[in-house]
Structure 1
Amino acid sequence: MRARVRDTTGGAAAGPGELPPAPRSSGGMLEVARSRFPPRETGQRWAMTSASANEVLVVLEREPFRADTAHMRWQRRSGVQALLAWLSGFDGASWQERWEESPAAVCPQRWRRQAETWVNAAAAVRAANIQSGLLMLAAADVIRLALPWQMDWHSGTLRTLIEELRDPDGFARLKELAGPERWASASGGRARRALVRIMAAKGGGLADITVGDALEYDAELRRTAQGVSSGGTLYYAWLRELGHLPADAPTTLRFLEKVTGQLTCAQLVDRHPVASPRIRALLIDYLEERRPRLDYSTLDNLARHLTRNFWADIERHHPDLEALNLPADVATAWKERLRTRVERRRRPDGSIEETVVERADRVMIFITVRAFYLDLARWASEEPARWGPWAAPCPIKVAETIDRKRVTRTKARMDQRTRERLPVLETFARATADHHRQAAAHLDIARATKPGGLFTLDGALFTRGKNPAGAAARDENGCLVHLDRVEHRAFWAWATVEFLRHTGVRVEEMLETTHHAMIQYRLPTTGEIVPLLQIAPSKTDVERVLLVSPELADVLATIIRRVREPKTGMIPLVTRYDDQERQWNAPAPLLFQYNRGGEPSTPNSQTIREILKEAAATSTRVTDATGRPLDFTPQDFRRMFITDAIRTGLPPHIAQVIAGHANINTTMGYNAVYPTETIEAHRAFIARRRTLRPAEEYRTPTEAEWEDFLGHFERRKLSVGTCARAYGTACIHEHACIRCSMLRPDPAQRGRLMEIRDNLLDRITEAEREGWLGEIEGLRVSLAGAEAKIGQIDAAAPGGPVLLGLPTPRPPRTGERPSRA
């Protein structure tokens, strides 16, 4: 998507007239930021560069420029004297002007090859002294080295000199804010080099660096293709932490060139130019009228449908039309063209393959255009002068906006995905957990190995890289593997699967969950504190809370331990870009964040989908009935959560509240109905036809119902675990919990179960001794139940036994002799 600068014509508040086209821009928010924040001018005259040679030498002999040793002082002084003597031979009123007139300013490569020859023509001096003299002149701000010149001239000494001599207090404060680990890391070193380069090119200290300076440096990195290897945007994040940037400065430079921000209505229309000035002004005015009641993503789609898919297509085939009253043949031809679209795919050889496919959103475009015509007709009766000239018959009939067949096919396809994935959800969750444990173990082994040492992972030999802070290794074939990145993606795959399957939230709601979303609720009946998870408003702009199960609480605690800062124990504040609203949210302690090159960052929804796809590909245990591997999307977990909740007895109107749907029909659309459920539901309907209460169930739950729903979880808590019976069902085993298969034993209560088992053994021994045969039978049943619960705890423990079960023999077919096996 191409972004534009802000339209200054203002729209069409007084009525749709002819408006000039909105100005275009070649980039996104990055181009807008560059226009708002220009860099500082380097200049050619300032105090130090205008000083005489003797004044410069006097300054370099004082603190903080004075060297500690006599040899170093002689080396710097001789180099500076020789350089100033050589520069004096060029025209200019300042040393900066003379430097720019010299051949040395053209290319650092020429300086390296010919500096000794150039300078020795004015004063004989060693090459090492010449380089030392240039470093001192740059550190003392006598001459300023342009950014392109510095990109080809790598000097670690210049960074040290400017940090120690130019702004020691500023760098000391920055080091304290960054922390020793991030300061000494490779990304931290590159970020420090970026700040030093800006100061060497623009002058001043850290507090003098502006947003424009940082953007100019970022552009130079992109020009020289050094963006990946130069510390990313950590230097800009450090400037924000120092508080030197204005409040309206961009939050981060990361991905700034890929996002557009919110465009004006004129810019939305001009993405697909409309030739007629009157129609363009009408579309802009219409969008301005609708904008206050729409979120930005809906407004964006509305503008795209009305411009690209509707009027721009009409104008391409009928350029003389300038009225909305379309002839019948024109409208029919447009509808026929809208049936298909061209899909382009890149072949392996780089060529483009074009295929004509059916357009899936055709009905949605019809609905948008019909609403456009009907809105104009209704507004014309309210404001005839403004909208009356545009009222016209709508070319789309009601029947054309109904596509039950497509909706039914989509519903059937989504239900089939749910039926295939719900039975293997637990298997997939265990596979992601096992994969993360394995990746974490591999990472620990690699980090325990010395740089350059050998180690073995699953029988394969690896050689660790030479960077002691990294976790890269090469296998026997020389392929580089970043074990820390593998563990990173494996962890977030596990966290995503567990979070989504226990909450059923949307992916954007998961990514916007903060540490503050974890709240507590005290039950009014018992006073027990129940943990809740607050879901921020998203699609329906309705806030809701979810009950935190023990499994979800364990996931949240693991995420918090991973993302909090070790030194402060706080979760870093990070800014996230909202893809739907096209804007940066305020900094918040988001749970789904990670350290990327020393800077806190958040994944987007596309990254989450890629992580889930990788997790499904690494798991060979998740397949469908035909043996093909299954993939999982974030929306699949939402459908499975709602389907499983309704199947286990949760009333649909309560499931609607938990899912955050505005309409209960949406909730039921997510519910995948199984064939057996259909038969049982129909038989139950016939049995209780007179007492069926659909209107009672399809409503907002009352306070009493909600309290009863929360109280159900209180009654499930037992001394040795949790009862897993469904909501609204009573105990069918007469509270014989040890024998009941619905009891989920708590691993922390294994000792209590061992005591119960030992007590049962003693009672059985006593009954056998006394001859209580009837008592023995009941005690043995209880003993079998206690041992089964202990076995469940041991099987669920890490490294515990895996119960494969016993094979079930197939019954012989008609006419087939039974097997002797």
Structure 2
Amino acid sequence: MALTERFPPRPYEDDWPETSQSYEEVMARLNRPPLRAASDSTHDYRRRGAQNILRWLQHHPGDTWQQRWNASPAASCTGSEWNKRSAGWTGYGAANASGILNSGLLALVSAEVLRPSLRWQLTRSSTNMRAVICQHRDPEGFARLEQMVGPQAWSSHLGKLAKSVLVKIVISKGGGLADITVGDSLEFMEAFREYRPSTAGQSLFYSWLRDLGHMPTDAPTTLRFLTRTSGQVSVEQLVDRYNPQSKPIRNLLVDYLKECQPTMDYTSLEDASRTLVRNFWTQIERIQPGIDTLRLPPEVAAAWKQASRTKTTRQRLPDGSIHETVSERANYGNLMMGVRAFYLDLAHWAVEEPERWGPWVAPCPVSQADASTAKHEKRRKAKMDQRTRERLPALATLVRVARENWAEANAGMDALRAAPLGGRFTFMGKTYTRQKQDSVTPFRAYDETGRRAHLGLAEERAFWAWATIEFLHHTGVRIEEMLEASHHSLIQYKLPSTGEVVPLLQVAPSKTDEERLLLVSPELADVLSTIIARVRDSRTGAIPMVVSYDVAEKVHNPPMPLLFQWVYGGQLTPVSRSLIRNGLNDVLGRAGLTDSAGQPLDFSPHDFRRIFISDAIRSGLPPHIAQVLAGHSDINTTMGYNAIYPADAIESHRAFIARRRTIRPSEEYRTPTDEEWDAFLAHFEKRKLSLGTCARAFGTACIHEHACVRCSLLRPEPSQHNRLIEIRDNLIDRIAEAQREGWFGEVEGLEISLAGAHGKLTQLDAALQPSVVHLGLPTFDQIAGRSNTS
């Protein structure tokens, strides 16, 4: 583990002053305070047990008592085997030999003569070890720790577990609480994981050590989710996790991703490595083993693209068998786009650095059509719109059921708190027995069958499910933005027009790295005040500072007063997505909602974002304002979230017609009389002329006094082409006659009519001839006319 390499544990020592003392010196120390027990009988037990153990160890090789212990069979056995075999090993045959020897071992460990290993201690339980070590080994450190955590946490079940872990580490490695390192803590968690699969409730000790200030600043913030928080890894590790066989191609992929790394966040870098290594190159190597070139044969590229169109999902059934399901890959276009970008980037970079990238330039096996995502986007849009249409009407029911579920869980907690430890109480028709010891969190009880019920955890899950539903559907934020909302996110703004102060919620940047402000409605303000009252520290009144883990970037964020935090296992921790998911499932199970097919209706946190945007735009919010509230960089993304209903289109069209009617005079929409209708029909009959059709509007007079050849509104018919030629020729003859007879007053009018006739003929000729576009190519006669002078 990389973390263990950064924080190595302290080595197990076998030589220190106390273990190097002689038999007489050790026994003398045990007979003096503070190692001497207050009770004479207890002291006698410890003294006799220590004598027998030391005399037995004297027969084993070594210069110190610890070396002799390591050489004895006691070090290689388990703690439980020590209880059974120690009397036979030491040859001590008293009636209570096991108890006396265990008391002697307790005395030697308290005197730091022996240091049993962590794994030895994990297989053995001792009722007195914790109290004795806290008293004789670093009493000041344990007293300070008790004062810091408070009496309730110190005496709780989880508190006792944490003290037990600290005692085990102090016993095995020596020193006090201030000497415990991160590596010692990691070593204990690893040893405990070998001893027991679950480490629940065992990491509180580390949180206490951090609060004491004994850990470096770069130490992990918690050990609870250590196996789930790998942190960022190098590009080489991202590539090597898929084990590509061709070393040259592996090195090329590493170089390529390193070149792209400065312009990518870690999530995009991880996705790119998954696309290029797992989904592309390892698949190519599976199709053609031993290949080491990007110049793919056509049949290999075709086989890879065909295999990439589907994906196989494996699911373990209750009987242990594996069920495989083959389905169409939804992100096929994105996969092709990533591979195409890889080939095109290499070709582009080869121009600037031919010696580095030139040898890898090859024809791209992915065409532009292969990388098209238009069909997928349309399918995704239709699918998401259908989800929104089914869930928007059910939102009110979900909100109501979430509040009822929390109220019921809260009533169960009130009944549990009212019952004494170990006492019985009745809730929802069932009888429970409260456990005899309370942990810090959560409260537990046992039902009539003796089965343990986590009422405290159920109340936490119900509350955070209610808070999540209310927060998301009032803000439309992303799930990661909600979980990162802190007390600092609530700000005030004074309106410049009225001077009114309004509350705003500042949404931290997440996906688009753009922060935004949302107006806090009265409903959202009620939810936020409830959350703040719940997480506020009762002693200081402040919101505790909590370190969250960014699951996308795989880094720990700085401490912040997060709103979504709770106490789990005695430690303040951010609300996890799994807790929210389980709470939503509880609410959905209680609501009993179904979709159009009759199947149970599920809600994801992102569904509330789509519902928020669709509902806002349906309510009249301009799309560009919805884009700002949603934090989208492109308004098309916002409209992609908006689910258009058929009824919305119809109502919007009717509203448009209504608005248009309010602008135009109302008399235009009255019912026409019979005379008006006859006049309207007669208008179309009067538009027919000998040369064509008149295009003047209804109710307007002729502007040229029926001189139709001059009128621009005349639409000549093609069949009247010869008639127009006759009119043109007649006008030419009349102009010649008027000029000959000296009728110059008529010449001007006739020339205007002649120009109109020419215009109508030109209009008809243009309509009858097909349009020809000259491309500038030389004609045959132009080519034939050239001569060669050379």
**TM-score bin (small chain):** 0.7 to 0.9
1:350 correspondence with 2:327? no
Partner amino acid for 2:325?
Answer: T
Partner amino acid for 1:201?
Answer: S
1:201 correspondence with 2:172? yes
Give the TM-score, by structure 2 length.
0.79
User: For structure 1, which segment, 662-671 or 89-98, has the greater mean C-alpha deviation from structure 2 after superposition?
Assistant: 89-98
Q: By how many angstroms is 1:237 displaced?
A: 1.2
Aligned positions of 1:230-309 closer than 5 A: 231-309=201-279
Q: Name 2:634's counterpart in structure 1.
A: 663
1:491 correspondence with 2:493? no
Partner amino acid for 2:628?
Answer: V
Change (3 A) 1:688 1:234: same
Change (3 A) 1:107 1:684: closer
Q: Deviations over 1:235-256 (max 9, x none)?
A: 1111111121222222221121
Q: By how many angstroms is 1:634 displaced?
A: 0.4
Match of 1:156, SS state, is coil
Contact 2:157–2:438 (CA<8 Å) still a contact in 1? no
Q: Name 1:175's counterpart in structure 2.
A: 146
Contact 2:84–2:98 (CA<8 Å) still a contact in 1? no
| Whole-Å separation in 1 of the counterparts to 2:56 and 2:291 | 73
Q: By how many angstroms is 1:440 displaced?
A: 0.4
Q: By how many angstroms is 1:624 displaced?
A: 4.2
Q: By how many angstroms is 1:126 displaced?
A: 6.3
Q: By how many angstroms is 1:74 displaced?
A: 4.1
Q: Name 2:182's counterpart in structure 1.
A: 211
Q: By how many angstroms is 1:73 displaced?
A: 4.0
Contact 2:308–2:329 (CA<8 Å) still a contact in 1? yes
**What is the Cα-based RMSD across aligned positions, in Å?**
2.5
Q: Name 1:504's counterpart in structure 2.
A: 476
Q: Name 1:473's counterpart in structure 2.
A: 445
Match of 1:530, SS state, is strand
Q: By how many angstroms is 1:505 displaced?
A: 0.3
Contact 1:82–1:124 (CA<8 Å) still a contact in 2? no
| Whole-Å separation in 1 of the counterparts to 2:171 and 2:118 | 8
| Whole-Å separation in 1 of the counterparts to 2:466 and 2:494 | 31
| Whole-Å separation in 1 of the counterparts to 2:96 and 2:318 | 59
Q: Deviations over 1:84-105 (max 9, x none)?
A: 3333333321111222333433
Q: By how many angstroms is 1:458 displaced?
A: 2.5
| Whole-Å separation in 2 of the counterparts to 1:48 and 1:341 | 64
Change (3 A) 1:59 1:577: same
Match of 1:269, SS state, is helix
| Whole-Å separation in 1 of the counterparts to 2:167 and 2:82 | 20
Contact 2:486–2:561 (CA<8 Å) still a contact in 1? yes
1:187 correspondence with 2:158? yes
Q: By how many angstroms is 1:352 displaced?
A: 1.1
Match of 1:586, SS state, is coil
Select the residue among 615, 620, 625 that pairs with 1:644. Answer: 615
Contact 2:507–2:518 (CA<8 Å) still a contact in 1? yes
Q: Deviations over 1:438-483 (max 9, x none)?
A: 1100111122123443332222333333335563333344443221
Unaligned runs of 5+ in 2: 664-790
Aligned positions of 1:328-339 closer than 5 A: 328-339=298-309
Match of 1:637, SS state, is helix
Contact 1:508–1:605 (CA<8 Å) still a contact in 2? no
Contact 2:52–2:92 (CA<8 Å) still a contact in 1? no
1:141 correspondence with 2:112? yes
Select the residue among 458, 475, 491 that pairs with 1:519. Answer: 491
Q: Name 2:557's counterpart in structure 1.
A: 585
Partner amino acid for 1:219?
Answer: E
| Whole-Å separation in 1 of the counterparts to 2:95 and 2:307 | 80
1:677 correspondence with 2:648? yes
Q: Name 1:95's counterpart in structure 2.
A: 65
Aligned positions of 1:99-118 closer than 5 A: 99-105=69-75, 106-116=77-87, 118=89
Match of 1:357, SS state, is strand
Q: Deviations over 1:394-416 (max 9, x none)?
A: 22222222243332222112112
Partner amino acid for 1:386?
Answer: R
1:132 correspondence with 2:111? no
Change (3 A) 1:395 1:477: same
Contact 2:333–2:376 (CA<8 Å) still a contact in 1? no
Q: Name 1:424's counterpart in structure 2.
A: 394
Q: By how many angstroms is 1:309 displaced?
A: 1.4
Contact 1:86–1:121 (CA<8 Å) still a contact in 2? no
| Whole-Å separation in 2 of the counterparts to 1:74 and 1:342 | 70
Select the residue among 460, 463, 471 that pairs with 2:433. Answer: 463
Q: By how many angstroms is 1:560 displaced?
A: 1.6
1:630 correspondence with 2:601? yes
Partner amino acid for 1:457?
Answer: F
Unaligned runs of 5+ in 1: 1-30, 693-821
Change (3 A) 1:345 1:115: closer
| Whole-Å separation in 2 of the counterparts to 1:259 and 1:562 | 28
Change (3 A) 1:120 1:382: closer
| Whole-Å separation in 1 of the counterparts to 2:85 and 2:254 | 62
- Give the greater-gyration-radius structure (CA): 2
Match of 1:533, SS state, is strand
Contact 1:83–1:119 (CA<8 Å) still a contact in 2? yes
Match of 1:258, SS state, is coil
Aligned positions of 1:534-613 closer than 5 A: 534-613=506-585
| Whole-Å separation in 2 of the counterparts to 1:343 and 1:372 | 27
Change (3 A) 1:582 1:126: closer
Change (3 A) 1:59 1:524: farther
Change (3 A) 1:234 1:647: same
Give the TM-score, by structure 1 length.
0.76
| Whole-Å separation in 2 of the counterparts to 1:159 and 1:189 | 9
Match of 1:423, SS state, is coil
1:340 correspondence with 2:310? yes
Partner amino acid for 2:501?
Answer: I
Q: Name 2:24's counterpart in structure 1.
A: 54
Contact 1:78–1:125 (CA<8 Å) still a contact in 2? no
| Whole-Å separation in 2 of the counterparts to 1:324 and 1:127 | 72
Q: Deviations over 1:614-634 (max 9, x none)?
A: 2111123x4446665422110
Match of 2:366, SS state, is coil
Change (3 A) 1:283 1:114: closer
Match of 2:503, SS state, is strand
Q: By how many angstroms is 1:310 displaced?
A: 1.3
Q: Deviations over 1:550-595 (max 9, x none)?
A: 1111111111221222222232222222111112222222111111
Q: Name 1:794's counterpart in structure 2.
A: none
Contact 2:169–2:184 (CA<8 Å) still a contact in 1? yes
| Whole-Å separation in 1 of the counterparts to 2:45 and 2:637 | 79
1:322 correspondence with 2:286? no
| Whole-Å separation in 2 of the counterparts to 1:42 and 1:543 | 51
Q: By how many angstroms is 1:64 displaced?
A: 3.0
Change (3 A) 1:507 1:58: same
Aligned positions of 1:317-466 closer than 5 A: 317-466=287-436
Contact 2:406–2:459 (CA<8 Å) still a contact in 1? yes
Q: Deviations over 1:131-176 (max 9, x none)?
A: 3221111011111111122112211211111111111110111112
| Whole-Å separation in 2 of the counterparts to 1:478 and 1:564 | 35
Match of 2:20, SS state, is coil
Partner amino acid for 2:282?
Answer: A
Contact 1:493–1:612 (CA<8 Å) still a contact in 2? yes
1:32 correspondence with 2:41? no
Change (3 A) 1:626 1:263: closer
User: For structure 1, which segment, 78-87 or 667-676, has the greater mean C-alpha deviation from structure 2 after superposition?
Assistant: 78-87
Partner amino acid for 2:388?
Answer: T
| Whole-Å separation in 2 of the counterparts to 1:216 and 1:383 | 48
State percent identity of aligned pairs. 53
1:165 correspondence with 2:136? yes
Q: Name 1:718's counterpart in structure 2.
A: none
Match of 1:393, SS state, is coil
